[in-house]
Chains A and B, each alone.
Chain A
Amino acid sequence: MKINITKQSLYLLFLSIVLLLFVLIFSFLVLIPEGKNYREQRGVLNKEATELRRYEEFADNTLERLKGLQSDNAHILTSFDNSFSSTRFQKQFRSYFTSLELSKQEELNEEDEFSVYEVNTTSSINSPQSFYNFLDAINKADWIISVNFPIEFKRDHELISSTFTMRVYRTKKASQQ
C-alpha cells in the first residue's frame, strides 16, 4: 500500500511540529518559571504591605501618644521653653509679698538637656501664709521654678523678711535659641 503524502503537507507537518515545540519550550522554560516568580513576588509584596500597614499603625499610635502628651502638658512644656524675666516674675508674684527683689541671675552647671539659672530673692511678707501661697502659686507659674535652701526668715518689726534662692529650669534647646 502506498501512502501518498504531498510535499506541501510534509512541510506543514514539519512547521507544526517546530511551532509546537517552540510553544512547549517557551511555556516550560520561560512562562512557567516567570509565573512562579510572579506568584512568589506577589506573596512577598503582600507580606511587605502587611508589615508596612503595621509600621504605619505603630507610627500613628506613637504620633497620637506624642500629640496627647503635648496637649495634656502644654503648660509645663511651654514653661520649660520660656526664658526667665525678673520683671514679669515680679509683676506676677508681687501680690504675695510686701516687697520683692530679685538679684544675681546666674547660670549653673547644665543638667543633661536642661539649663539651670539661680536667682537670689529678697522679700518681705506679712505672715508665713503669704509665703505658703507663693509656694503654691509658683507651681503654676510660667517657668519651672524650685525654691531652694537656704531659706532665711528674719523678724523685721511687723514684717518677716525672707531670703531664698530659686532655680529656674529651661530646656537647653530653648535657651540656645
Chain B
Amino acid sequence: MKYSYIKPRKKSVVSGESQLIFSFFSITLIMLFLTYFFLFFKDYRFTQNLQEIQQRKIELEANVQKMNSQITFIEKELLLSESITTKNTVLKDSIANLFDLVPQRITLSQATLLKNGLILHGITPNKDIYNFMLQAPLRSIFHRTYSSFYEAENGWLKFVSTNYIDEDELSLESPRYEEEKEVSDED
C-alpha cells in the first residue's frame, strides 16, 4: 500500500557535500604527502650522492698524489740519466782533446786522468819541444803544472807531467762548476 505519490529519495550515510569535501581534501593531502615523500627521498639521495662524490674525490686525490710522486721519481731518474749521459760524453770529448793535444813528436807511454788533474808519462826528443808543444797548452788548461825529466836510453828525454786544477779557483771562475762538483760529489 502506497502512502505517498512521490518516489522516495535514496539516503546515504555520507551526504553529497561531505563526499565532495572528503574527495577534495583527500586528493590535496595525497598530493601534499607525495610531494613531501618525493622531497624526502630526493634529500636522502642527495646526501648519498654527496657522500659518494666526497669518497670519489678522496680516492682521486690519493691517486693523483701517487701519480705525482711517480712522475717526480721518473723525472729524477731522467735527470740523473741525462747527467750521466752528459758526463760520459764530456769525458769522451776530454779524452779526445787530451790525445789531440799531444804533438806527433812526443810519445805518451801512460796517461792518468784524475778528477781534478792529469798525469802524463812520455818521451820527448828535447825539452823545447815539450815546453812549446805540450806544456804551453797544458798550462793554459791547468792551474798547477809540474814537469820532471830524466834521460832515456836513446838520448831522448822521458818526462812526467803532473797537472792539477784548483777546484777553489775554478769555482770562482765559473759558478756552474760548483754545482757540477756537488753533483759529482754525490755521485
Interface string of B64-99 (1 = CB under 8 A from A): 100110110111111011001101110110011001
* Cα–Cα distance between A177 and B32 once the two chains are bound (Å): 67
Q: Which residues of A contact B131 (CB under 8 A)?
A: none
A149 touches B115 (CB 8 A): yes
Q: Which residues of B contact A45 (CB under 8 A)?
A: 46, 49-50, 53
CB distance from A104 to the nearest CB of B (A): 18
Q: Which residues of B contact A154 (CB under 8 A)?
A: 109-110
A151 touches B113 (CB 8 A): yes
B110 touches A38 (CB 8 A): no
Q: Is B150 an interface residue (CB 8 A)?
A: no
A146 touches B84 (CB 8 A): yes
Size of the chain A interface, CB-CB below 8 angstroms:
66
User: Could you tell me which residues of chain B, from 106 to 143, have a CB within 8 Å of some CB in chain A?
Assistant: 108-115
B49, closest chain A residue (CB): A45
Interface string of A132-144 (1 = CB under 8 A from B): 1001101100001
B111 touches A153 (CB 8 A): yes
User: Could you tell me which residues of chain A, from 106 to 151, have a CB within 8 Å of some CB in chain B?
Assistant: 111-114, 116, 128, 131-132, 135-136, 138-139, 144-151
* Cα–Cα distance between A128 and B109 once the two chains are bound (Å): 13
Q: Is A19 an interface residue (CB 8 A)?
A: yes
Q: Is B168 an interface residue (CB 8 A)?
A: no
* Cα–Cα distance between A32 and B87 once the two chains are bound (Å): 75
A113 touches B76 (CB 8 A): yes
* Cα–Cα distance between A55 and B62 once the two chains are bound (Å): 11
A135 touches B92 (CB 8 A): yes
A152 touches B81 (CB 8 A): no
B42 touches A38 (CB 8 A): yes
- Decide if the interface of chain A is mainly helix, strand, loop or mixed: helix
User: Could you tell me which residues of chain A, from 33 to 71, have a CB within 8 Å of some CB in chain B?
Assistant: 34-35, 37-38, 41-42, 44-45, 48-49, 51-52, 55-56, 58-59, 62-63, 65-66, 69-70
Given A23-B32, A76-B81, A151-B95, residue A34 in contact with residue B40 (CB < 8 A): yes
* Cα–Cα distance between A136 and B68 once the two chains are bound (Å): 33
B61 touches A73 (CB 8 A): no
Q: Is B151 an interface residue (CB 8 A)?
A: no
A155 touches B21 (CB 8 A): no
Given A153-B111, A154-B109, residue A135 in contact with residue B39 (CB < 8 A): no
Q: Is B29 an interface residue (CB 8 A)?
A: yes
A81, closest chain B residue (CB): B77
- Interface residues, chain B, with chain A CB atoms under 8 Å away: 15, 17-18, 21, 25, 28-29, 32, 35-36, 39-40, 42-43, 46-47, 49-50, 53-54, 56-57, 60-61, 63-64, 67-68, 70-71, 73-78, 80-81, 84-85, 87-89, 91-92, 95-96, 99, 108-115, 186-187
- Given A38-B39, A52-B53, A149-B113, 5 other A-B contacts at CB below 8 A? A22-B29, A111-B187, A144-B84, A151-B113, A152-B112
- Interface residues, chain A, with chain B CB atoms under 8 Å away: 8-9, 12, 15-16, 19, 22-23, 26-27, 30-31, 34-35, 37-38, 41-42, 44-45, 48-49, 51-52, 55-56, 58-59, 62-63, 65-66, 69-70, 73, 76-77, 79-80, 111-114, 116, 128, 131-132, 135-136, 138-139, 144-155, 167, 169, 171
